[in-house]
């Protein structure tokens, strides 16, 4: 994945079915990222999204891991990092 440190217009990311994707570290450095969601993250672990949650501009994040245990852990991490839960399904609005 390329560096996102200069991606000043990137405010929302929604990834789906990223079966082989494991390195989310660049999202920590996206300077304007406000919302992030991983849909169908069955092959990922909640802890793999820690770099996303450490991004100081991130306000909301969401994920569906296909497991109640993993989903619960992700909600705990959201609370720990002070982020709101993001539901990407619904009317799209431009930020």
In tens, the pLDDT along 28-87 reads 999 999 999 999 999 999 999 999 999 999 999 999 999 999 999 999 999 999 999 987
Asked whether residue 70 is domain-assigned, the answer is yes
pTM of the model: 0.88
**How would you label 23-62 residue by residue, b for 16+ Cβ within 10 Å and e otherwise?**
ebeebbebeebbbbbbeebeebebebbeebbebeebebbb
Query: Is residue 5, in this structure, part of any structural domain at all?
Result: no
User: CA 48, 28, 33, 50 torsion: positive or negative?
Assistant: positive
Residue 40 lies in a domain: yes
Q: What domain range includes position 17?
A: 12-85
Quick check: helix, strand or coil at residue 71? helix
Instruction: Decide: 75 and 85 in contact? Cβ < 8 Å.
Output: yes
Assess if residue 31 is contained within a domain.
yes
Asked if residue 94 is part of any domain, the answer here is: no
| Domains contained in the chain, number | 1
């Amino acid at each position: 994945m390329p560096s996102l440190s200069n991606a000043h217009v990137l405010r929302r990311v929604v990834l789906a079915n990223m079966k082989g994707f494991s390195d989310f570290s660049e999202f920590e450095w996206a300077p304007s990222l406000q919302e992030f969601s991983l849909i169908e993250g069955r092959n990922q672990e909640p802890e793999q999204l820690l770099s996303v949650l450490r991004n100081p501009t991130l306000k909301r994040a969401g994920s569906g891991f296909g497991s109640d245990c993993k989903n619960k852990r992700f909600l705990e991490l959201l609370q720990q990092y002070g982020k709101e839960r993001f539901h990407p399904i619904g009317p799209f609005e431009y930020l």
